[in-house]
Amino acid sequence: RAAEWQLDQPAWSGRLRITARGSTAFIRLEDKTSGELFAQAPVEQFPGIAVESVTDSSRYFVIRIEDENGRRAFIGVGFVDRGDAFDFNVALQDHFKWVRQQSELARQDQDQGPKLDLGFKEGQTIKLNIANMKKKEGAAGNTRPRPAGPGGLTLLPPPPGGKGCGERPPSLPGPARLPGTPITDSVLSWPQPSAPAADAWGDFAKASG
């Protein structure tokens, strides 16, 4: 109980700081002018025996101080302002909350097993043989052979929207048939030259004697 202490005549007055090293928090009582350490209380667990609240006030606590030789003593500390006492509690709670989170993460890593290290070690090299790599089919365009035409010629595909070159051209219109004039199917009949008359050479024969 803080009421049993000599609050009007404290044995020491100064400033209080909380630091941490690893999972351990340290309550440091220092001179408010020079910063010289008066006493220090290592806290490995909170709530715990290292820091306890009194039963009759929220501004006073009992802490367990420890020197370099391992000697311990319990002393009472108090804050003039209630807000400072609240900050003191919150600082210790936040530290050990972080400690629990780190422990949980480490336990999860152990449950998942060792992580696979895919990084290169110092001086490690790899060799790639790219001479035998083949292009994937279709990567450089359509590689299917085109059909060959007669004589080994390659037939080009028909233009889009047009007719193919293999289609039969439309039939030409037949010859015009005049009324009463017979025409053969494939060859037109041209007029034949008439044979020379029998007397065409008559004058020549007479002239030559």
- The helix or strand, by DSSP H or E, that contains position 168, with its residue range, turns out to be none
* Distance of alpha carbon 76 from the chain centroid: 57
Q: Are 63 and 75 in contact (CB under 8 A)?
A: yes
Return all residues near 43 (Cβ < 8 A) that are at least 6 apart.
24, 25, 26, 27, 50, 51, 92
pLDDT in tens, 152-185: 555 666 666 655 445 555 555 555 555 555 554 5
Going from the N-terminus, what domains does the chain have, and what CATH number goes with each? 2-111 (2.30.29.30)
pLDDT higher than threshold 80 for residue 31: yes
The letter for the amino acid at 90 is V
pLDDT of residue 89: 92
pLDDT higher than threshold 60 for residue 195: no
- The helix or strand, by DSSP H or E, that contains position 94, with its residue range, turns out to be helix 82-112
pLDDT in tens, 111-142: 666 666 777 777 777 777 776 665 555 555 55
pTM (predicted TM-score): 0.50
DSSP for 151-167 reads GGPBPPPPPTTS--TTS
pLDDT of residue 104: 87
Q: What are phi and psi of 15, to 5 degrees?
A: -115, 155
In angstroms, rounded to a whole number, what is the distance separating the alpha carbons of residues 77 and 17?
13
- The helix or strand, by DSSP H or E, that contains position 82, with its residue range, turns out to be helix 82-112
